Structure 1
Amino acid sequence: MNSNEAAFDPTAFLGSAGPGRSIQQFRKNQSIFAQGDKADSVLFLQHGRVKLVVMSEQGKEGVVAILESGQFLGESALIGRRRLSTAVALEDCIVTTLTNTVLIATLQREPGMCEFFMTHLLRRNCRVEEDLIDQLFNSSEKRLARLLLLLADFHPGDTAKSLPVDVSQETLAEMIGTTRSRVSHFMNKFRKLGFIDYNGHIEVYPSLRSAVSPDKARLPEGDARPFD
């Protein structure tokens, strides 16, 4: 590389429009793409959160993931598959859309972009494996606790975190594979134990970790704030 040539910056590339890439804004609850749509592009979430929803042939709907800023979605387009899920904005979002052709060419040309994208894929794969283990071996109560901790995204020193988006009990139930009534029961139990609080918005305390097996959760340690 020429000494005067700036190093390739994946975040700058993904944060700007150009040949084969465009930037779009989506309002809360707006569909970004739909299950079964033709897939000729991969998207990068610059800002906001998105839920991925799948619909069975029998019409049953389920939330399979909640994505946050800095993540890709619709990656299956690179292997010629139609959209496997419906992406819906949970809040106002800014999304960069890259055509398959441009993304593949950039991955081949720029090692920095290739590393950035591969790191994302590996993290996504690990999360899917952990979710599968969670479904196979943990009770629905532990699955709910783990999900709330993941959504809260604790950092060292945090004493409490409000979920950055409003997530209904129906959505939580779909994500952990149980009923809304069971989620309501567990939420009330967590609240009484001082693990969470909610009054129209869910606030999570790090002490909720005690409801999850540490070797499965892999989340930061933390002390609980006294429950009011």
Structure 2
Amino acid sequence: MNSYEAAFDSKAFLGSAGPGRAVQQFRKNQAIFAQGDEAESVLFLQRGRAKLVVMSEQGKEGVVAILQPGQFFGESGLIGRRRLSTAVALEDCVVTTLANTMLISTLQREPGMCEFFLTHLLKRNCRVEEDLIDQLLNSSEKRLARLLLLLADFSAGDTAKSLPVDISQETLAEMIGTTRSRVSHFMNKFRKLGFINYNGHIEVYPSLRSAIAPDKARLPDGEARSSG
């Protein structure tokens, strides 16, 4: 714990109600906020998982993120923008709602909270960049493998990990920008290769990492080398 955290306990602050902040509970499939709503607060996910969904003017829907406990979301209000997406609980959730004015004053007053919040923003920015590179450069098969590994969130020593929530193949397809039939094809392939198992619930094995290993390039003389 650094000196900032010793003076200000960010996790305790985010886990309790107080002036300008409230703790709310949401049931599975309940909307937390809707795209286009006034963004008067930032939210912190204490418990449970949620998804962020965007809807185009033509009615096309896409899942852009799966939120894990310990993440902020809905920060667009801090720069005066409306909600850019709809947040929906994937399971029962506990959420802390932080009024924009209160959060800004806390960030200005408490270096520990400012550090905690900025760390979240930097991590998310890196994730967005990685997702963009993934969409631009990788095949849909590799995008699916990477998504499953991210959702599984392996720790050192894990030999298998079940996905924290039930996610349909339609949702997986939306998140990687392909069709459900392609996702079904790749899921069957991964299962045959022993990378995953599913029987109503998806279980991921670390061996799935081999599916996102760099492709091999061929030298003129026929010798292989890594493209990375």
Q: TM-score, normalised by structure 2?
A: 0.91
For residues 106-125 of structure 1, what are the structure 2 equivalents within 5 Å? 106-125=106-125
For residues 197-216 of structure 1, what are the structure 2 equivalents within 5 Å? 197-213=197-213
Cα distance in 1 between the residues matched to 2:212 and 2:106: 41
Encode CA deviations 1:161-200: one digit per residue, 9 max, x unaligned: 0001000000000000000000000000000000000000
Cα distance in 2 between the residues matched to 1:137 and 1:150: 18
Q: Which residue of 2 aligns with 1:51?
A: 51
For residues 8-27 of structure 1, what are the structure 2 equivalents within 5 Å? 8-27=8-27
Cα distance in 2 between the residues matched to 1:153 and 1:91: 18
Cα distance in 2 between the residues matched to 1:127 and 1:82: 22
Q: Which residue of 1 aligns with 2:225?
A: none
Gapped regions of structure 2 (runs ≥ 5) = 1-5, 216-228
Cα distance in 2 between the residues matched to 1:181 and 1:132: 23
Q: Which residue of 2 aligns with 1:148?
A: 148
Q: TM-score, normalised by structure 1?
A: 0.91
Encode CA deviations 1:93-116: one digit per residue, 9 max, x unaligned: 000000000000000000000000
Q: Which residue of 2 aligns with 1:168?
A: 168
For residues 79-158 of structure 1, what are the structure 2 equivalents within 5 Å? 79-158=79-158
Cα distance in 1 between the residues matched to 2:104 and 2:214: 39
Q: Which residue of 2 aligns with 1:77?
A: 77
Question: For the aligned residues, what is the CA RMSD?
Answer: 1.0
Q: How many residues align?
A: 210
Percent of aligned positions that are identical: 88
Cα distance in 1 between the residues matched to 2:173 and 2:20: 38
Gapped regions of structure 1 (runs ≥ 5) = 1-5, 216-228
Aligned with 2:53: secondary structure?
A: strand
Aligned with 1:18: secondary structure?
A: coil
Once the 2 structures are TM-superposed, how far is the Cα of residue 118 of structure 1 from its aligned partner? 0.2
Cα distance in 1 between the residues matched to 2:50 and 2:127: 16
Cα distance in 1 between the residues matched to 2:166 and 2:29: 12
Encode CA deviations 1:53-90: one digit per residue, 9 max, x unaligned: 00000000000000100000001110010000000000
Cα distance in 1 between the residues matched to 2:178 and 2:214: 22
What code does the residue aligned with 1:171 have? T
What code does the residue aligned with 2:99 have? T
What code does the residue aligned with 1:54 have? V
Once the 2 structures are TM-superposed, how far is the Cα of residue 214 of structure 1 from its aligned partner? 6.2
What code does the residue aligned with 1:45 have? L
Aligned with 1:155: secondary structure?
A: coil
Q: Which residue of 2 aligns with 1:224?
A: none
